[in-house]
Amino acid sequence: MAIERRGVLAAMGALLLAAKAPPPMTTAAAPLALVKPPRLRPGDTVGLIEPAGFTDDSFDQRDVRR
Amino acid sequence: MFADKDVRAVFAVRGGWGCARILPLLDFATIRANPKLLIGFSDITALHLAFAARAGFTTIHGPNASSSWGKFSWDGFRAVTFDGAMPTFANPVGNEDRLVQRVGRIRTLHPGKASGRLLGGNLTVLAALMGTPWLPDFTGAILFIEDIAEAPYRIDRMLTQLALGGVLGKLAGIVFGQCVDCGASGPSYGGFTLSQVLQHHFGALGVPVFQGAQFGHVANQFSLPVGVRAEIDADLGTIRLLEPAVI
């Protein structure tokens, strides 16, 4: 009987998912009571952050200000 | 910025990489004491998840400040953040001259409805936070994930990490958004397609799952409030908020 790689891998995937998941290894934080921030209103001041890069293109900066 | 009473919300200008580097440097006591909307997506997922875990208030997975702000994106954002509404997010229906919708179509991987807290963002960033104290508890959550320029074998590797880490087995439902440029190339050539990878990981979970929701690295996108309760309909491809995101 021919064995196809795709079939074997798919079956392995199904077995993986069907198996009882082990206790999570993450250190996930317990849920906090959800606090709702105040809604926005026209004219509000908003802060701009770039924690994942920087923008040095003047067009982009003008666009964001607008 | 969170301590500044004059600042009502904080926008990420753009995504990128490395946002997780600053997580240990943030003063979450100050942030939690000053809840205000944080808006952005992509690498900003590191902040969304850390805020859900440590700050306990809603943030908005939506367009960055420098993103496209067309009517679709703006209307959803305004409804959630200005109006305090509880919209039902659904993909825009185009005016295609076809029998079957192609643009913006959704794919049901497992039918049904489910409700839970919305948690998620960029899959790569989420996977990179596994095993750190900056992830919230996903028990009973609706996971929403998206990505860009990741080959199917990489998506498979990240989803396997989530499965082995026990996250996927905890979920009430899953929405896979847009995966831009995620076609097979390089090492993936001849391997599984993205659809097959998603089916392998999600199909057997027994919870509602659909693919193709309009969020991620696309021009028109939902503004999904992280942490709020929502109901998904995997047959219709909708996400309905069950509570307002703001007061």
* Catalytic annotation present for B217: yes
> What would you report as the CA-atom Rg of chain A, rounded to the nearest whole angstrom?
25
Which residues, listed in sequence order, are joined to residue B144 by a DSSP beta bridge? B120, B175
Q: Which residues of chain A make contact with B193, given a CB cutoff of 8 A?
A: none
Specify the 3-state DSSP secondary structure of B193: coil
Q: Which of A2-16, B3-17, B90-104, B160-174 has the lowest mean pLDDT?
A: A2-16
Active site residue B231: no
B146 has catalytic annotation = yes
Determine what percent of chain B is predicted with pLDDT higher than 70: 98
Place of tokens 């998941």: A21
Q: Hey, is the C-beta of B30 within 8 angstroms of any chain A C-beta?
A: no
Report pLDDT digits (tens) over B49-71. 999 999 999 999 999 998 989 99
Average pLDDT over residues B10-14: 94
Question: B142: which strand partners?
Answer: B118, B173
Q: Scan residues 37-96 of B and list those with Cβ closer than 8 Å to A.
A: 37, 42-44, 46-47, 53-58, 65-66, 81-84
In terms of phi and psi (left: phi > 0; alpha: psi -120 to 50; beta: otherwise), the region of B175 is beta
Hey, is the C-beta of B113 within 8 angstroms of any chain A C-beta? no
